[in-house]
Amino acid sequence: MISAYTGKQVRQAEEPLLAAGLGDVLMQRAAHGLANAVVREFKSRGLRTYGAGVAVLTGKGNNGGDGLYAAAFLAARGMRTTAILTAGSAHPQALAAFEQAGGRVLYLSDAASGALVSEAVRADVVIDAVLGTGAKGGLRGSAADLVTAIADARAQARAEGFVVACDLPSGVDADTGAVSTPALAADLTVTFGAAKTGLLVDPGADYAGRVDVVPIGIEEHLDQPGLRRLEDADVARLLPHPARRAHKYSRGVLGVVAGSADYPGAAVLACRGALAAGVGMVRYLGPPEVADLVRRSCPEMVCSTGAVADNRVQAWLVGSGMGPDDHDQLQRARDAVTSGLPVVADAGALPALPDVMAPNVVLTPHAGELAALLKRLGGEEDRAAVEAGTLAAVRRAAALTGATVLLKGATTLVAAPAGDVFSQADGTPWLATAGSGDVLAGIIGALLAQEDSDVGRFREMGVEPEQRWAAVAALGAALHGKAGRAASDACSGGPIAAGGIADAIPETWGKVSMLSNAGVRKRNSHTLPLR
């Protein structure tokens, strides 16, 4: 599990060590980790470090100090290092160490800016060490102009080097992920002590690139993370596995209320997602013409009639492919939400649900749907505002509705009403295809139907029982992303259609279980027990 913290949390964790006079030690550790990561990046790109050009954009605070000490290490390896001081001054000891190591210092001024842009554009690596967790707002003045010019050169492929952000890309808010432009998109962000929340949510994640965390010795002083990300081993641990004497009902039945005359395919895709995600049975409830298509597309499906209360299931999926005029289906969606059973509520159901729900109801809006939901609850947001502040928006929706809210996108965020947030980014942009969200709803519905009262595996991972619905939804997002990636990889990185995501789920599930959890492999193997 990756845990992420706000800038303030990280600074608080540093305090005991700073009080003990270890400030310079922390900075040296951070700088050493940054320099090592730069060298690794050169090697992974098949590039020589000796003689390579390094340009460090250096601010006046500790972030600039990290960059200068790192550049001093790189200079000692024979790299040609240049520091561009953006604020006229820099961390004095780090600057002295840098100059001692043979580094060249240039001062940013309006007169010299053209030459400095060329310097940075020619460099094999640009290290962005202007602003870190102490920033107030974004880049300003000549530093902003310099970054704009470098970003333009990169966009026009006039710069060949790569960009490494020191702690976080300057302009990205460490806590919210909001971006004040201009900001330089990094290929790699090397962050110190712990991942910062803003690196794992959009739009900050767009600028962070890959994120490497360098331990600096503050870890034991960190409190509860504000945001977490499930890694493969967590996914493996959370995926359900059937008991030896399981039967289809004990493995969970999912009821699906989805599809309409206009969008019958959404019901099919949701059912395909669910059928592939381990559930014992999937029952469809909806208009006869959609039921007919569902039956013909998926012979495993059981189609029912009647009201929600007449159908015995362990969880409901409602809303995919439904519109405002599908009155019977919308009534079923409302009945499912008030049944007390776990529910995943998608698309067309979202505008029709009560204002206040329970944590075992998982809402799955995309940014536009989340903006509409927040507006209905008295907010002012439009889609652009949600996209600019995804973390705040998803948290607010969960707090207001009392439901678990999953915001879909390149990074998928899941907020529990009590405040826990999970962030998953397992997929590929090829997942942005019609019907992809229906498959996701099917996966989450299937996982909800397989949940029982055994909360031990969540507790072991530090997830409290009442927050586990968010973890289950994050698990679904992880599986969906990985399946989409696997489907695309199977065609050498080519495009995928939504059905292909569903088809890739079982093998994705098996692989992540096998690779990350030997215990699971044992449970699923066919070796006969010795006694």
Ligand X SMILES: NC(=O)C1=CN([C@@H]2O[C@H](COP(=O)(O)OP(=O)(O)OC[C@H]3O[C@@H](n4cnc5c(N)ncnc54)[C@H](OP(=O)(O)O)[C@@H]3O)[C@@H](O)[C@H]2O)[C@@H](O)CC1
Ligand Y SMILES: Nc1ncnc2c1ncn2[C@@H]1O[C@H](COP(=O)(O)OP(=O)(O)O)[C@@H](O)[C@H]1O
CA 258 – CA 264 distance, rounded (Å):
8
Q: Judged by CB under 6 A, which stretch of 147-155, 248-256, 429-437, 520-528 contacts ligand Y?
A: 429-437
- For ligand Y, give the closer residue by CB, 237 or 485: 485
Binding residues for (6S)-NADPHX: 62-66, 132-138, 167, 266, 321, 366, 438
38 binds K ion (CB under 5 A): no
**b/e code 502-522 from CB counts within 10 Å (16+ = b):** bbbbeebbeebbeebbeebee
Residue among 222, 256, 427, 247 at smallest CA distance from 329? 256
- Chain Cα centroid distance, residue 485: 15
166 binds K ion (CB under 5 A): yes
∠ CA 66-99-64, rounded to 5°: 20
- For ligand X, give the closer residue by CB, 188 or 274: 188
Among 2, 410, 418, 497, binds ligand Y (CB under 6 A): 410
Residues 353-392 that bind ligand Y (CB under 6 A): 366
- 192 with 30: CB under 8 angstroms? yes
**At its nearest, how many Å lie between ligand Y and the CB of residue 461?**
23
DSSP designation for 435 = T
Window 317-356: contact mask with ligand X (x via CB under 6 A)? ----------------------------------------
**At its nearest, how many Å lie between ligand X and the CB of residue 196?**
8
Q: Judged by CB under 6 A, which stretch of 24-32, 99-107, 422-430, 444-452 contacts ligand Y?
A: 422-430
Would you report the helix, strand and coil content of the chain in percent, each value rounded to 5? 45, 15, 40
Identify what 59 binds: ligand X, K ion, ligand Y, none; CB under 5 to 8 Å per kind.
Answer: ligand X
What are the structure tokens assigned to 38, written together?
């730069």
CA 294 – CA 285 distance, rounded (Å):
10
Residue 283's SS3 state is: strand
427 binds ligand Y (CB under 6 A): yes
Binding residues for K(+): 63, 128, 170
Q: Judged by CB under 6 A, which stretch of 56-64, 307-315, 324-332, 508-516 contacts ligand X?
A: 56-64
- 320 with 262: CB under 8 angstroms? no
In order of 147, 277, 474, the CA distances from 230 in angstroms are 34, 18, 7
Identify what 436 binds: ligand Y, K ion, ligand X, none; CB under 5 to 8 Å per kind.
Answer: ligand Y
- For K ion, give the closer residue by CB, 196 or 283: 196
Task: List, as one string, the DSSP characters of 185-248.
Answer: PPSEEEEESSEEGGGSSTTHHHHH-EEEEE--S-GGG--S-SEEE--HHHHHHHS----TT--T
Among 408, 446, 472, 504, binds ligand Y (CB under 6 A): 408
497 binds ligand Y (CB under 6 A): no
- What pairs with residue 190 in β-bridges? 166, 212
Q: Give the number of other Cβ atoms within 10 Å of residue 298's Cβ.
A: 17
Q: Judged by CB under 6 A, which stretch of 120-128, 137-145, 408-416, 448-456 contacts ligand X?
A: 137-145
Write out the residues near ligand Y by the rule CB under 6 A. 366, 408-410, 412, 427-429, 431-432, 434-438, 440, 480
Write out the residues near K ion by the rule CB under 5 A. 63, 128, 166, 170
Write out the residues near ligand X by the rule CB under 6 A. 14, 18, 23, 26-27, 30, 59-64, 66, 131-140, 166-167, 192, 216
